[in-house]
Chains A and B, each alone.
Chain A
């Protein structure tokens, strides 16, 4: 891994710029949200090169942006944001979305407090571990017929709710109502369908998780109350994506986008930035396939939420009304969207890539739920399993500066191999238990790979965005029980 040797200009305490002078092909400058200490780490990770590479994409506007949880990824870094102007030949790149299309998080609130579940916590974690399939290649009890599959790909959350996995209200509190409109199942390969037919309602492995949590600290009581959150309240967080179907779509299109880049004569500083104009047949093809995989992911998280509700009712022997498990919000953090933003004073249609970055729209934006219009969109930021997760809210400054985007998590700091080595001879489960956190995991190595030290401190990441004004802190949530893949 090369250390960054290029220029970095400090704009203020939390903003750094990579000037276009770094590389001839850069069309815009790079903008990294970080503090001085974080910047040192970022330079050693060579991610600024990736930020500069993205700045070369045809049609890119304003800046190639990196969030403070940035770390190295394929093509785009994780934590990378790039928006291209469609009318000016702007491109869409599978490398700007990632392998796990619409990987995302949803946060559920309950009427319960820590006091209510304290004694039942081990049983709840066991119940979730047994009832929500997790681990490598996990397959679920929901088997999709070809007709069902088409329904999932077309209508995402709507399909799930129509088939009894949830209530209509859940749809309202899901980004895009859990259904991207331009889904085109014709663009999905048989291979992707094969990989997706038995994975709905499964968590998968790696950093995906299902967590029982408690609201630890509220920073903005007014906004927290609009989101239905208060201190000591029990919440549940679900982090997963489109599983094998999404990986296959990424692979299929990385392959065909290689040809398309050659066809359109697009300069690629990195093969993994293969792309095509959004308006080309290849671009539309990927957009249609990506939308299908996104809808699959929303249906997946919706089904897992339904399974979670069932587990809570059975274990606690309480009714759904008593538990009151409701969706605060569901956000996608690996996705490309067609959105309107103001560029040079004019409303412009952009293709916004958010790879390891979360949409964070401000108050009054038409795309956020009515109930949240006065305060802004909830941004769910999962941390590692030992520290904390956050709820933020989108701001107008974030809208103007970063296409209405915030970070997506803590950001990995240690390779999986290194983490496994560092954890040798330690019991991560025991260490977490000592902090009062119960963990269950399917994979032998998962807990070591996912140990808290493998990640940046989410508190620092979130503070950078809060201080920069890109998103504001609403509440901090701490883990109580974790199911890992």
Chain B
């Protein structure tokens, strides 16, 4: 028997989308607050690198980054996470933002070390770019757009 459960399902708000850009790829992340959008853009970035559902958030790492302004802060924050990924082979799928000002971010990133067989690496991100970077309060939530050099 087929049950119609649609009434009971609360839709999970979309956290991020990918969009294409010439040679590269971009992510647009959403959030009710700027903090949530900052957390979601990082999760989106790791979803570019690997299948996020295969990451078990069993280890955490403290992240603290500064920037000259909000745009730089965002780029520096994502670059920091990428650095931990490329040197410590950490993959993250959950981020808690502890503090966010226009020039400082403190966060806790949860994930685990890359394990061959469990995780498949889909692509390499060379750098996080400033091109068409946007952090915006749309009136019905926050949106962050970032393009990655892949």
Residue among B20, B21, B121 making CB contact with A137, cutoff 8 Å: B121
Would you list 13 pairs from A and B whose C-beta atoms are within 8 A, ordered by A residue?
A73-B23, A74-B149, A195-B83, A206-B124, A250-B127, A251-B79, A254-B127, A255-B72, A415-B20, A416-B25, A417-B20, A418-B20, A443-B123
Residues A135 and B131 in contact, CB atoms below 8 Å apart:
no
* Contacting pair A445 B23 (CB below 8 A): no
**Residues 48-67 of B contacting A (Cβ, < 8 Å):** 49
A100 and B122 CA atoms in complex are apart in Å by 19
| Supplied contacts A72-B23, A74-B131, A258-B72, 16 more A-B pairs, CB within 8 Å | A45-B22, A100-B126, A136-B124, A194-B87, A248-B83, A250-B126, A271-B130, A272-B130, A412-B23, A415-B21, A416-B150, A417-B18, A417-B20, A443-B123, A444-B120, A445-B123
What class of interface size applies to chain B in its complex with A? 20 to 34
Check: A244 CB closer than 8 A to any chain B CB. yes
Contact call B83/A191, Cβ cutoff below 8 A: yes
> Which residues of B are interface residues toward A (Cβ below 8 A)?
18-25, 49, 68, 71-72, 75-76, 79, 83, 86-87, 89, 114, 120-124, 126-131, 149-150
Residues of B within 8 A of A251 (CB): 79, 127-128
- A78 and B150 alpha carbons, distance in the complex (Å): 14
Given contacts A99-B126, A251-B127, contact A417 B25 (CB under 8 A): yes
- The reply to whether B131 and A137 contact each other, CB–CB distance below 8 Å, is no
Chain B residue nearest in CB terms to A262: B68
> Does A481 have its Cβ within 8 Å of any Cβ on chain B?
no
Which residue of A45, A74, A412, A443 is within 8 Å of B129 (Cβ)? A74
The contact string, 1 if C-beta is below 8 Å from chain B, for chain A 263-292, is 000000011100000000000000000000
CB contacts (< 8 Å) of B114 on chain A: these are 137
Given contacts A72-B22, A412-B23, contact A255 B76 (CB under 8 A): yes
Q: Would you call B86 and A137 a contact (CB within 8 A)?
A: yes
Give the chain A neighbours of B71 by CB distance below 8 A: 271
Q: Is A71 located at the chain interface by the 8 A CB criterion?
A: yes
**Structural contact, B126 and A415, CB atoms closer than 8 A:** no
Convert A411-438 into 0s and 1s, putting 1 for each residue whose CB lies closer than 8 angstroms to a CB of B.
Answer: 0100111100000000000000000000
For the complex, give the distance between the alpha carbons of A417 and B87 in Å: 27
The count of A-to-B residue pairs whose CB atoms sit within 8 angstroms is 92
Is A231 engaged at the interface, CB distance under 8 Å to the other chain?
no
Q: Closest chain B residue to A259 by CB distance?
A: B68
Q: In the complex, what residues of B have CB within 8 A of residue A412's CB?
A: 22-23
Give Cα distance in the complex from A255 to B71, angstroms. 11
Chain B residues in 8 Å Cβ range of A382: none
Chain B nearest CB, measured from A470 CB (Å): 24
Contact between chains at B22 and A1 (CB < 8 Å): yes
What chain A residues lie within 8 Å of B75 (beta carbons)? Answer: 255
Q: Which of A326-377 contact B (CB under 8 A)?
A: none
Q: Nearest residue in A to B126 (C-beta to C-beta)?
A: A99
**A4 CB within 8 Å of chain B:** no
Give the distance in Å from the alpha carbon of A195 to the alpha carbon of B127 in the complex: 13
- Closest chain-B Cβ to A38's Cβ sits at a distance in Å of 16
For chain A, the bracket of interface size reads: 35 or more
Please name the residue on chain A nearest to B72 by beta carbon.
Answer: A258
A206 to B24, CA, bound (A): 11
Instruction: Determine whether the beta carbon of A99 is less than 8 Å from that of B124.
Output: no
Say which residue of A99, A191, A258, A418 sits within 8 Å of B68 (CB atoms): A258
Name the distance in Å between A194's Cβ and chain B's nearest Cβ: 4
Contact A137 B124 (CB under 8 A): yes
A22 close to chain B: CB less than 8 A: no
Q: Tell me the minimal C-beta distance from B14 to chain A in angstroms.
A: 18
User: Hey, which chain A residues are within 8 Å of B49, CB to CB?
Assistant: 136
Partner of A415, one of B22, B127, B129, B149: B22
**A205's closest neighbor in chain B, by CB?**
B124
User: For residue A195, which residues in chain B have a CB less than 8 angstroms away from its CB?
Assistant: 83, 86-87
Inside 8 A of A100's CB, which chain B residues have their CB?
Answer: 126
Instruction: Select which of B86, B129, B131 is within 8 A of A244 by beta carbon.
Output: B86
Minimum distance in angstroms from A300 CB to a CB of chain B: 15
| Chain B proximity mask over A172-206: 1 for CB below 8 Å, otherwise 0 | 00000000000000000001001100000000111
Among A78, A247, A444: residue with most chain B CB under 10 A: A247
In contact, B86 and A443 (Cβ under 8 angstroms): no
A137 and B114 CA atoms in complex are apart in Å by 11
**With A74-B129, A248-B83, A271-B130 in contact, is A415–B122 under 8 Å at CB?**
no
Shortest Cβ distance from residue B1 to the other chain A in the assembled complex, whole angstroms? 35
Q: Which residues of B contact A259 (CB under 8 A)?
A: 68
Q: How far is the CA of A300 from the CA of B94 in the complex (A)?
A: 35
Residues of B with C-beta under 8 A to A1? 21-22
Q: Determine the distance from Cα of A354 to Cα of B75 in the docked complex, in whole angstroms.
A: 25
Chain B residues in 8 Å Cβ range of A137? 86, 89, 114, 121, 124
Task: Give chain A nearest CB distance to B122 CB in angstroms.
Answer: 6
* Complex CA distance for A345 and B22, rounded to whole angstroms: 40
In the assembled complex, the CB of A335 is this many whole angstroms from the nearest CB of chain B, namely 16
Residues of B within 8 A of A194 (CB): 83, 87
Near B by CB (< 8 A), chain A positions 125-139 give: 135-137
Q: Which 5 A-B pairs have the closest CB atoms?
A: A417-B20, A99-B126, A136-B121, A72-B22, A271-B130
Whole-angstrom CA separation of A222 from B89 in the bound complex: 51
Alpha-carbon gap, A250 to B114, bound state (A): 25
In whole Å, how far is A454's beta carbon from the nearest beta carbon of chain B? 9
Which residue of chain B has its CB nearest to the CB of A199? B86
Are B123 and A272 closer than 8 Å at their CB atoms? Answer: no
Residues of B with C-beta under 8 A to A445: 122-123
In the complex where A247-B126, A258-B72, A445-B123 touch, is A206 in contact with B87 (Cβ < 8 A)?
Answer: no
Closest to B130 in A: A271
Residues from chain B with a CB closer than 8 A to the CB of A74 are 127, 129-131, 149
The CA-CA distance from A135 to B150 in the complex, in Å, is: 13
- B87: nearest residue on chain A (CB-CB)? A194
